[in-house]
Amino acid sequence: SKVPPIILNNGVEMPQLGFGVWQVPDDEAEQAVSTALEAGYRSIDTAAIYGNEEGTGKAITSSGVPRSDIFVTTKLWNSDQGYDSTLRAFDTSLEKLGLDYLDLYLIHWPLPSRDGYVDTYKAFEKLLADGRVRAIGVSNFLPEHLERLTGETSVVPAVNQIELHPHLQQHASREFHAEHGIATEAWSPLGQGKGLLEVPAIVAIARKHERTPAQVVLRWHLQLGNVVIPKSVTPSRIKENIDVFDFDLDTEDLAAISALNEDRRIGPDPATFDVG
């Protein structure tokens, strides 16, 4: 494969770069995921709330790529938190995907005010023990939520998928994850495209390497050790975003991008987000 794996804390291999499908309508997901698989992506990131598990699954099962070569992630939506409801939601997601096991299942948001993530995670531990999923983890968890979770459950999450890009570098979370053997997965790794890819420092580094700004930002993540899941529905960009394994940023480039941190979120604050 084009994409090297990282080894999760339970020994499972996960491609360091995958394809995200947030905001891709179900009837376009099959085409987009098929294009990604043809371009060499072997990891797909969806979620129950994205409403495109069926289209995503169709692309996977009709691709001709062996199931065992594809790493499939989906996420439990907020309204399904709780032990029994989690087990039911998992079955629904697998059925929509048309798969008989999942590679990674994530709790989409911690919803601390509802106090349900520990029970939810205990259902995840059962799914893992039953061999229905190869790794379990969380998304949008702050260090304080991870502290509580690891104190009250037995399986350390393999992954925490959080908003992370040059304007929101998440130093505290990355440090916490490293100390506890949790892989950091960056959502909106390109900062959703807009302003970030026009920042002069990034444009200058792109020119220097004869690459695009998106490739430079992805390369910055990869060299820091983050897992990335860039999204695009444009075939040329889908190809461009995986074509990042034949060049290196130097120390100066990395420092210039690291100087862009503004601790500025695009998405909601996990401490207070309470929707769904």
The residue ranges that bind ligand NAD (CB under 6 A) are 20-22, 45, 108, 139-140, 161, 187-193, 197, 212, 214, 229-232, 237, 240-241, 267
Between 180 and 265, CB nearer to ligand NAD: 265
Between 99 and 190, CB nearer to ligand NAD: 190
Cβ-proximal residues to 188 (8 Å cutoff; 6+ apart), any chain? 163, 164, 165, 266, 267
Between 130 and 198, CB nearer to ligand NAD: 198
d(CA 79, CA 86): 9
Maximum C-alpha span of the chain:
54
41 is known as an active-site residue? no
Between 79 and 130, CB nearer to ligand NAD: 79
Torsion angle of alpha carbons 111, 116, 118, 121, nearest 10°? -90
User: φ and ψ at 24, to 5 degrees?
Assistant: -95, 115
Q: How far is the CB of 137 from ligand NAD (least distance, A)?
A: 11
d(CA 135, CA 125): 9
Q: How far is the CB of 53 from ligand NAD (least distance, A)?
A: 12
Query: What single string gives the DSSP state of each residue in 128-188?
Result: HHTTSEEEEEEES--HHHHHHHHHH-SSPPSEEEEE-BTTB--HHHHHHHHHHTPEEEEES
Between 214 and 249, CB nearer to ligand NAD: 214
Tokens of 123: 């259902």
**Contact predicate 214/230, CB 8 Å:** yes
Q: How far is the CB of 72 from ligand NAD (least distance, A)?
A: 12
Q: How far is the CB of 172 from ligand NAD (least distance, A)?
A: 18
Q: How far is the CB of 4 from ligand NAD (least distance, A)?
A: 20
Q: If residue 78 lies in a helix (H) or strand (E), which one and from where to where?
A: none
- The residues annotated with a catalytic role in the active site are 50
